[in-house]
Structure 1
Amino acid sequence: MVDFEWYRSFIAIYKHNSVSEAAKTRIMTQPALSQHLASLEAEVGERLFARTTRKLVPTERGKQLYAHLAPHIESLEEKTMELKSHLSPAMKTIKIGTTHELFTESVMAHLSGMEWNTVTYFGDADHLLELLKEDRVDIVITDKKLATPGIEYVRLMEERFVLVAPPDTAVPEFARTEEMERWLTEQRWISYGLELPIIRRYWKEFFNTGPVINPVHVIPSLHLILRAVAEGAGVSLLPTYLLKQPGAAERRWRTLFEHMLVRNELLIGFKSKHKHVLDINAFIKHIRERNED
């Protein structure tokens, strides 16, 4: 007789192409999970994965089995979570993965009066995706959509970035776009990361090329970048919502070229199998509605 847990282990291996990664998500030891796979292969009578040097690749029989099993396993897990939701009288806890800035902007202002408890984890987009894949968070709020099987995204809101500079920055008159680009290239830039996020998009959109600059400071915090700009450390691109917050660096900065805005879409990511879980679905709806106000 087939053990239902063999199926769950098979699904996990299929999704991760790795026994070790599947074992982590199932909170099992690798030998125990490998035994599940061996037992299922013995029951089926065929190999379900081909072993390569780097990962496990499903065989045709493995693909066929997954196609039959996955909808049923996910449906059972979903119904189990819904049943828990209906039976438990306690306030539900939603686990959120996001950045400090996005939490401040899209969640913190709406905590009062929520019908959920929340536990929040901070990190960059790649780290947050791993937390979501491992079920350590229920949703992620991010500006980066990563194509990952089993993960879906819905739009939360749009943020707009504008150039911010110290208040005494002298800006000359520009006769041509090339002159503006040259002047911007000569400025001391502060970036959120070495890969120049947003800055590259700014250059591509308005100058149709990539920026040839080296940031003088890399600070992975938008709030601290604004503080650095206010201290005269350089210029940067910052979201307009940050500039509207009370006491934002005591307004010791100025915006330049306000018509040159870069738009960036913020997203809520979640596991496809959880899209109909009542509490997660209601929380996503709540956050989206509040951020549309």
Structure 2
Amino acid sequence: MLNLEWFRTFKVVYEVGTLSAAAQSLFISQPGVSLHLSALESYTGYRLFERKNRGVIPTDRGTLLYNYIIGPMIGLEEIEKLCYKKSKTSRATVSVGMCFTTFHYTLEEHVGHLPFNLITKFGECAQLLNELNAGVIDFVITSQTPPLPNLVYTPFMTTRNVLVCGGQTDISTLEKLIIANHPEPISDWLGNQVWFATSADMEAVKRFWQVNFEVSPDFKPSFVLPHYGSILRNLKSCNGFAVVPDFVCKHELANGTVKLAWEGSQQPEDMLHFAKRKNTSYPKELLHLENLLTTNGLS
């Protein structure tokens, strides 16, 4: 069935000459613009634009179609203005990808005050970066920086995993073992404690163990919970241990509900980056996010 939005997209692409500029004007993604054009070309049976390196050029059929629809489209736009009470300023819609933990501890509390619309997506860094490169989402916070052709990365902070425990947990034995600097007894003692993790494979714990003890942990977590916030809330009332990113637990460490059990003899750090496309449609909105997260979020 013919969709009138295809004609709106076609009209804007014809007038601005590039898919990216049309996407910005229509407040949709560039893949969405391509989808509308492909659908209209399939419906009409003709190629409407020739794709060039720096934009698109209408074919003879495209020019003919534009001349046919321009009058009715202008009339429809006038009717839209009369029938729909628009706000004085249009709000952009920005889609942002990151892991749930980063969102919960950095951006969540600021969402209601953003001067633009926001769509969040959670997932693994590799998946989110591929979607960013393809134009599906607009902005990603990532610890990975693969060399994707359309992306630019901006480093903004380092984070590292630390070992924490409940605020009332007796770690005097652990402290003595750490002072004695005997890795194997430390590993053995920790392996006999109650452990919390966010995944059954204990990815964060494995990395902490391999860096500090040069072996993999030989125990399983007692409790696997969906995110670090749930782990920290449970640690307030029990004697368990967990390996968590330092920015996640800074407030709990400050108020004493959990305590730092050990930073580790080795402290591997991850650099977090802002990732965006080189030619983003939302430079002001993404700069606002970067400033917000740097000033009030992770720093």
TM-score (norm 1): 0.60
Residue 206 (structure 1) aligns with: 212
Amino acid at match of 2:35: I
How far off its partner does 1:201 sit? 2.3
Residue 255 (structure 1) aligns with: 260
Taking structure 1 as reference, are residues 34 and 191 closer, same or farther at Cα in structure 2, changes over 3 Å only?
Answer: farther
Taking structure 1 as reference, are residues 145 and 135 closer, same or farther at Cα in structure 2, changes over 3 Å only?
Answer: same
Residue 84 (structure 1) aligns with: none
Residue 35 (structure 2) aligns with: 27
Contact 1:94 / 1:119 at 8 angstroms: preserved in 2? yes
Taking structure 1 as reference, are residues 135 and 208 closer, same or farther at Cα in structure 2, changes over 3 Å only?
Answer: same
Taking structure 1 as reference, are residues 26 and 221 closer, same or farther at Cα in structure 2, changes over 3 Å only?
Answer: farther
**Once superposed, what is the RMSD of the aligned Cα atoms?**
4.3
Contact 1:159 / 1:263 at 8 angstroms: preserved in 2? yes
Q: Please identify, of 175-184 and 107-116, the stretch whose mean Cα deviation from structure 2 is larger.
A: 107-116
Deviation per residue, 1:241-268 (Å, 9 max, x gap): 33333799x7443321246544332222
Amino acid at match of 1:142: T
Taking structure 1 as reference, are residues 29 and 207 closer, same or farther at Cα in structure 2, changes over 3 Å only?
Answer: farther
Contact 2:197 / 2:225 at 8 angstroms: preserved in 1? yes
Provide the C-alpha distance between the structure 2 equivalents of 1:193 and 1:146, rounded to a whole number of angstroms.
Answer: 25
Residue 283 (structure 1) aligns with: 288
Are 1:225 and 2:231 matched, yes or no? Answer: yes
Deviation per residue, 1:22-54 (Å, 9 max, x gap): 988943699x6997xxx99xxx9xxxxxxxxxx
Deviation per residue, 1:54-96 (Å, 9 max, x gap): xxxxxxxxxxx9xx83xx249xxxxxxxxxxxxx943433222
Residue 139 (structure 2) aligns with: 139
Provide the C-alpha distance between the structure 2 equivalents of 1:214 and 1:24, rounded to a whole number of angstroms.
Answer: 45
Residue 122 (structure 2) aligns with: 122
Q: How many residues align?
A: 234
Residue 22 (structure 2) aligns with: none
Residue 188 (structure 1) aligns with: 194
Provide the C-alpha distance between the structure 2 equivalents of 1:140 and 1:223, rounded to a whole number of angstroms.
Answer: 21
Q: Which of 264, 273, 277 matches 1:267?
A: 273
Q: Provide structure 2 residue ranges, at least 5 long, that are not aligned to the other structure.
A: 1-9, 20-29, 57-87
Contact 2:107 / 2:293 at 8 angstroms: preserved in 1? no
Q: What SS class does the counterpart of residue 279 from structure 2 fall into?
A: helix
Q: What SS class does the counterpart of residue 104 from structure 1 fall into?
A: helix
Deviation per residue, 1:131-162 (Å, 9 max, x gap): 53553421012334455443332223222322
Deviation per residue, 1:160-196 (Å, 9 max, x gap): 3221123234434324122112222333322222342
Q: What SS class does the counterpart of residue 243 from structure 2 fall into?
A: strand
TM-score (norm 2): 0.59
Provide the C-alpha distance between the structure 2 equivalents of 1:269 and 1:147, rounded to a whole number of angstroms.
Answer: 11
Contact 2:196 / 2:240 at 8 angstroms: preserved in 1? yes
Q: Please identify, of 105-114 and 221-230, the stretch whose mean Cα deviation from structure 2 is larger.
A: 105-114
Q: In terms of Rg, which structure is larger? A: 2
How far off its partner does 1:203 sit? 1.8
Taking structure 1 as reference, are residues 235 and 141 closer, same or farther at Cα in structure 2, changes over 3 Å only?
Answer: same
Residue 169 (structure 2) aligns with: 168
Amino acid at match of 1:253: V
Amino acid at match of 1:93: T
Contact 1:198 / 1:262 at 8 angstroms: preserved in 2? no
Contact 2:94 / 2:282 at 8 angstroms: preserved in 1? no
